[in-house]
Structure 1
Amino acid sequence: MTDSTAFDWRSFLLGWSGEWADSLPDDETRGGGDEVARQARWLGFPAAPEGRIAAMEKRLGCQVPPSYREFLKVSDGWRHAGGFVSLLAGTEDAHWHNNASGLADMFEEHLREDAGPEERREADIWRRGLQLDVVSDITHVLLDPEDVDEDGEWAVYTWASWRAAPPERHAGFTAFMRDMHREFHSLQARPSDGKPVFANDTTRRLDAQVAEARLEALRGGWEQALEALDEAKGYSRPRAAGLGDQIRRLLGQTHTVYYDGLVTDPRYTPEMLPPLVAEHAAHSYRDDSTLKYQLRCADADLMSLAHATLDQVRNGTYRYTAAGPFGEAVERARELARWGDTDRAWRTLTDALPLWEPLGPDHLAPLGWVADPVLGPLLTPERGRELLSTPRGGQSGEAPSPTPDLDPDDLAWLAEPDRGNNRTSYRFVLIEGTEPKELPGRLTDADTDGDGDGDEKGDGTVLNEPMTFWDASARSRFDRTESSSYDDRPLMAVGRAGTGWSFAFDGAPAPFNRPRFVSPASTAGADTRAVVVWSGLRTPHGKPFFHLSVARDGAEQYAFTYADGEIQRSGDIPRALDPSRFFDGLEDSARAERPLLEAVAEEFGASLPRHAIMNGRLHTFTTRSWTRPPRDGETYAVLRMHSTATRPVARERARDDGPKSR
């Protein structure tokens, strides 16, 4: 509600006064003014006549804002404006602050040189503001004559040092008083021995509003539901925060989402605890001291469960499960997502959502899956809105339009610049008629079992559990004990590349070394077809290059490499992929990248899942080297990492100038 002279001040103030009087224990000793107010059920004072208001304005040298003026016509001042202002000024006490508190100097001292208008207002308000607090708990209330809206309303700023926050802005005096009424309700809503049950027309209206908002949310009307829940939350009504937090989390709003009153309820803990813990893990940097605060009122058993779940989230081993048909869909979706098919995984979840059953009356939507390392990356704000708009939990309503798929059915997205308008090198292998879990057997020297379970295979090669490429790279560097300047053994993410193809993708390859490069296409393409692409056409450093090689049944069919402005080719290259069509006469070689990728996708009917590669969690493994062994007389370096209980990590550098190779 905006500030307006049409606001019904008398009804508002009378209702507030009655609620305040009813909240007081009968046996509590009160000061004379408060006792008179309780008996009269009126927190205000007699109305200020027009002459008194005019005299005040003459004294101040200006007209006061309309809402404050209309308030004074009903009550010339106010007791207990919220929990920390015992007396609010009427016509006699309102006065210019003129930095009486000295706070302008304090705020100016902490201003940065590049401080913006908002920060400067926080300092200047203490010199120009009209002070309304008369008696308070070190709480200042100032009307700002320079922060004025189109209706002539002055913004109200409140500040208390013990709140450790910047001054809080209220749009006008009406908004300030409504906020103070909410503050009064929030403080009274806290249980306390000896106090009467805090129930009145306002609480009953808001509690009924919460109950209806829950049903509206399950019907798919999350926007109306969230608005109603947020209003009730402002008055600290039970259930409102916990219900609203579920909606906010699915919209991607993770800050200060605690599922109050629900996460500690055993009925809802399986769904509410994992996302809360996952958010903590994402921002805690291994400092878990705040977890107890986030889990307010948690007992020892719940804290133990929280720490166990936290370990699972950090290790990437947490798995979300659900009951019934929706739970079965969750398992199917995870299987799709772990191989990169995130669009079908999402559709699998949403198709089953009408069959989802809440764990209790305050459960609005499935939530635990957002903490699952494989399923969580499926969520985007748009998809969250789609989920929330889908009728579920036994309620009926109109189904929303599906959100567009995130993965284009091509390879051309690789040519798009990143957020810094750069494009680093990348490389990938496409293998036809092969499941992703079988790729280590084709791209390593191991005798793998191909079961994809993360167990050790053959010579120690593993298909790692799904994780981000960044995390997989960090873990790979930590686990590596030896590397060679002649080795180029990339860590590659694997998944499905459209119908009939699987891929292995490296988004941060080593520099392209043309003389020593050996395409893995032939060995990868035993008894099938394999395609290798390595592009550095948009690298910020180094010369542009592009390589394509295609093999069938273990033999290379054709290949070309564009580097140093020249094209090397072999085999019978199809016209659609002829490099001269893309590079001849082209001054900017980077312009060839998109049409080249489009041609490769068209020729082989393959694509790469952008969302899974950029944002998802995929299995990874380390391939055999993409460079040939050193020849006689060639030098190279070996780096070995040694670690013992008595000495730190050491490095050993080897160099061989002799005829033998290593």
Structure 2
Amino acid sequence: MTTTTSFDWRPFLLRWSGEWSDSLPDDETQSEGDETARRVRWLGFPPASEERVAAMEKRLGRRMPPSYREFLKVSDGWQHAGGFISLLAGTTDARWHNNESGLADMFEEYMDDDAGPDERREADVWRRGLQLDIESDATYVVLDPEDTGEDGEWAVYTWASWRAAPPERYTSFVEFMQSMYQEFHSLRARPADGKPEFANDTTRELDARVEQARLEALRGDWERAGQALEEAKEYGRPRAVGLGDQIRRLLGRTYMVYFEDVVTDSQYAPDLLPALVAEHAAHSYRDDSTLMFHLRGAGDDVVSLAYATLEQVRNGTYRYTPAGPFGAAVERARELARWGNADGAWRTLMDALPVWQPLGPDHLAPLGWVADPLLGPLLTPERGRELLSTPRGGQTGEAPSRTAGLDPDDLAWLADPEHHDHLTSYRFVLAEGVEPEDLPGRLADGDETALDVPMTFAEARHRSLRGQREFSSFDDRALVAVGRAGTRWSFAFDSDPAHFDPQRFVSPAAAASAGTRAVVVWSGLRNRRGEPFFHLSVAQDGAEQYAFTYADGQIRRTGEIPRALDPDRFFGSRDEDGERLLLEALTGEFGVQLPCHAITNGRLHTFTTRSWTRPPGNGESYAVMGMNWDAAR
């Protein structure tokens, strides 16, 4: 923040005045006052003497804050502060606002009874503030004598009806004036046809900083680059927003990120459009007018690509396919991600990132992958920082530290709510030496042996219920996601199993174990829908070797259970850590793990298994519920 003692008003105001004068077209008629200001290259007025400032303070009953006081001694008022304030008050015109605008009443009307200090300040400032706007386009500016800093500065508040936003706060008058100078620049940065080019020492210096920021970003110094681009953005400099948005998007900041100008350029659209389209698809509810608004000015080729990409994103078929060595690494990463190895996929991308090449000088990093249904879930803010910190695009620099993996190397995370917030009951099948795509042949019949495209559990469940007309209490076919459970195992996982009926439960372990070993786990130790339970069964070559079920406080077992998995060690004392300790023991016994990130946040292939319960026997009751979807609609 600029302080009063470090700020020299005169050169700042002279530069502003000169740049304003040069920005006016020679053939455009100006008001008499503007023509005079243009001729003398000065938007201000004669300086106020100390006596004049003192008289003002006596009239108002308060000593003025330091930066406004020093400003008055250089110019007693100011014209064209930004784009919407024609005249700012000097010593004669400054006055207490006293709710002249009625804004205090308006803000109080919408204030809740439990409103906090900030909300109350938004109303009260219009009663006690010192009004500085004399002529403006429905814009109010006040200095707040009750909102002061340690340096004695008063905060400045501005409000305009057409902005439809809370009052904007500046810590001091000098900060407000610097912002108005930036606003003047941003409004002139893109002159309309026939207007003179807006170029001066300030714009040339800012543009040089933007180019330097681009190179720094490619070297991995994204924080310094981001600060420079943010400053240039405030001045409306071309390129600053488009470059800065790429950094913001990889940090997970999607609000108001539109890759301005760059995304509508056919050179960059193939990599930037998918990221923009994916965010739009997630929040648009099929209204695509806002997407086209952000693509205004784009050619037909870019618009066509946008619609095609949008359709692919919505139906889950979009694939990020860059060219060259980085593209080959992307394919390897996709293959790892589709079987649940999120950490391996990320490392594959990062190892190849140094050979990535930008599509042009306004391209800072690969972005199309965030829209890929398999690769997009890999992004976290920490990983985004790692990507941005990695030298790329032909630039060199120090490689960053690797981010920690997202997946624990075990099964115990299933018992840890820190890793998830909904797995109160779950079940899974593990098969040794079996590829994930071969699991449906072991656990399903007929048409169910084909894998669906990768999707989230919520998407898969919605799809599986679509059009289903009959629901039975005895048929328990599990919708499972599949992937790799370590170097030698594959898994089929159900995150939302049906009710566990120990009398009718049939473990799929035997069917899954033809020619190999298979493990089945079903846990409801934190089940909210009934008594806690846990089942484990292990089979080999089509026959169950051993099993136990803990339910109703009792343990039923068959076969010779290894000591490491003896249920008495975990449930005899009703230890609260029993589930976690048993999952740790299973990890050690079989050398298996489950991918936490892919199961809870990613997309995996799914299919529907055979029923996990036997049909009802003689004398056993069951229920069948029919649903008429046509009537429901």
Tell me the residue number matched to 2:488.
500
Describe the shift of the 1:494–1:419 C-alpha distance in structure 2 as closer, same or farther (beyond 3 A): closer
CA distance in 1 between partners of 2:443 and 2:450 (Å): 12
Counterpart mapping for 1:360-509 below 5 A: 360-417=360-417, 423-446=423-446, 459-509=447-497
* Contact 2:370–2:376, Cα closer than 8 Å, also in 1: yes
Q: Which of the residues 522, 541, 560 maps onto 2:510?
A: 522
Tell me the residue number matched to 1:452.
none
Tell me the residue number matched to 2:581.
595
Tell me the residue number matched to 1:567.
555
Amino acid at match of 1:520: P
CA distance in 2 between partners of 1:551 and 1:489 (Å): 20
Q: Which of the residues 624, 630, 638 maps onto 2:610?
A: 624
CA distance in 2 between partners of 1:241 and 1:145 (Å): 35
Tell me the residue number matched to 2:13.
13
SS at match of 2:631: coil
Q: State the 1:2 CA deviation.
A: 2.8
The answer to which of 566-575 and 626-635 deviates more is 626-635
* Contact 1:25–1:196, Cα closer than 8 Å, also in 2: yes
TM norm structure 1: 0.94
Tell me the residue number matched to 1:554.
542
* Contact 2:448–2:608, Cα closer than 8 Å, also in 1: no
Tell me the residue number matched to 1:655.
none
Tell me the residue number matched to 2:43.
43
SS at match of 1:141: strand
CA distance in 2 between partners of 1:168 and 1:427 (Å): 53
Q: Deviations over 1:444-499 (max 9, x none)?
A: 123xxxxxxxxxxxx35431100111111111111434331101111111000011
CA distance in 1 between partners of 2:160 and 2:96 (Å): 18
Q: Deviations over 1:326-384 (max 9, x none)?
A: 00000000000000011111010111111111111111111000000001011111111
Tell me the residue number matched to 1:127.
127
Q: Deviations over 1:406-440 (max 9, x none)?
A: 11100111111268976510111111000101110
Amino acid at match of 2:384: G
Q: Which of the residues 614, 617, 624 maps onto 1:638?
A: 624
SS at match of 1:80: strand
Q: Deviations over 1:312-338 (max 9, x none)?
A: 101100000011100000000000000
Tell me the residue number matched to 1:648.
631
* Contact 1:428–1:506, Cα closer than 8 Å, also in 2: yes
Q: State the 1:304 CA deviation.
A: 2.7
* Contact 1:158–1:168, Cα closer than 8 Å, also in 2: yes
Tell me the residue number matched to 2:592.
606
Tell me the residue number matched to 1:534.
522
Describe the shift of the 1:532–1:378 C-alpha distance in structure 2 as closer, same or farther (beyond 3 A): same
Tell me the residue number matched to 1:139.
139
Describe the shift of the 1:31–1:253 C-alpha distance in structure 2 as closer, same or farther (beyond 3 A): same
The answer to which of 195-204 and 540-549 deviates more is 540-549
CA distance in 2 between partners of 1:407 and 1:27 (Å): 67
Amino acid at match of 1:603: E
* Contact 2:357–2:392, Cα closer than 8 Å, also in 1: yes
Q: State the 1:648 CA deviation.
A: 3.4
Tell me the residue number matched to 1:218.
218
Q: State the 1:294 CA deviation.
A: 1.8
CA distance in 1 between partners of 2:417 and 2:499 (Å): 19
Q: Deviations over 1:11-39 (max 9, x none)?
A: 11010000000001112222221111111
* Contact 2:448–2:609, Cα closer than 8 Å, also in 1: no
CA distance in 2 between partners of 1:240 and 1:9 (Å): 27
Tell me the residue number matched to 1:323.
323
Amino acid at match of 2:188: Q
SS at match of 2:550: strand
CA distance in 1 between partners of 2:212 and 2:500 (Å): 62
Amino acid at match of 1:623: T
* Contact 1:527–1:553, Cα closer than 8 Å, also in 2: yes
* Contact 2:440–2:448, Cα closer than 8 Å, also in 1: no
CA distance in 1 between partners of 2:125 and 2:184 (Å): 26
CA distance in 2 between partners of 1:517 and 1:294 (Å): 55
Aligned residues: 633
Q: State the 1:633 CA deviation.
A: 2.6
SS at match of 2:134: strand
Amino acid at match of 2:140: H
* Contact 2:441–2:449, Cα closer than 8 Å, also in 1: no
* Contact 2:263–2:273, Cα closer than 8 Å, also in 1: yes
* Contact 1:292–1:298, Cα closer than 8 Å, also in 2: no
Q: State the 1:511 CA deviation.
A: 1.5
Amino acid at match of 2:199: A
Are 1:615 and 2:601 an aligned pair? yes
Q: Deviations over 1:157-204 (max 9, x none)?
A: 110111111111112111100100010001111221232110001100
Q: State the 1:568 CA deviation.
A: 0.6
Describe the shift of the 1:192–1:577 C-alpha distance in structure 2 as closer, same or farther (beyond 3 A): same
Q: What is the percent sequence identity of the aligned residues?
A: 73
CA distance in 1 between partners of 2:482 and 2:583 (Å): 19
CA distance in 2 between partners of 1:481 and 1:348 (Å): 44
Q: Which runs of 5+ in 1 are unaligned?
A: 447-458, 651-662
Tell me the residue number matched to 1:239.
239
Q: Deviations over 1:120-172 (max 9, x none)?
A: 11111110111000000110001111111111111111101111111111121
Describe the shift of the 1:261–1:422 C-alpha distance in structure 2 as closer, same or farther (beyond 3 A): closer
Amino acid at match of 2:507: S
CA distance in 2 between partners of 1:211 and 1:407 (Å): 39
CA distance in 1 between partners of 2:420 and 2:362 (Å): 44
TM norm structure 2: 0.98
Amino acid at match of 1:621: F
Q: Which runs of 5+ in 2 are unaligned?
A: none
Tell me the residue number matched to 1:174.
174
* Contact 2:420–2:600, Cα closer than 8 Å, also in 1: no
* Contact 1:547–1:559, Cα closer than 8 Å, also in 2: yes
Are 1:84 and 2:84 an aligned pair? yes
Q: Deviations over 1:23-73 (max 9, x none)?
A: 011122222211111111011111111111111111111111111111111
Tell me the residue number matched to 2:314.
314
Describe the shift of the 1:53–1:539 C-alpha distance in structure 2 as closer, same or farther (beyond 3 A): same
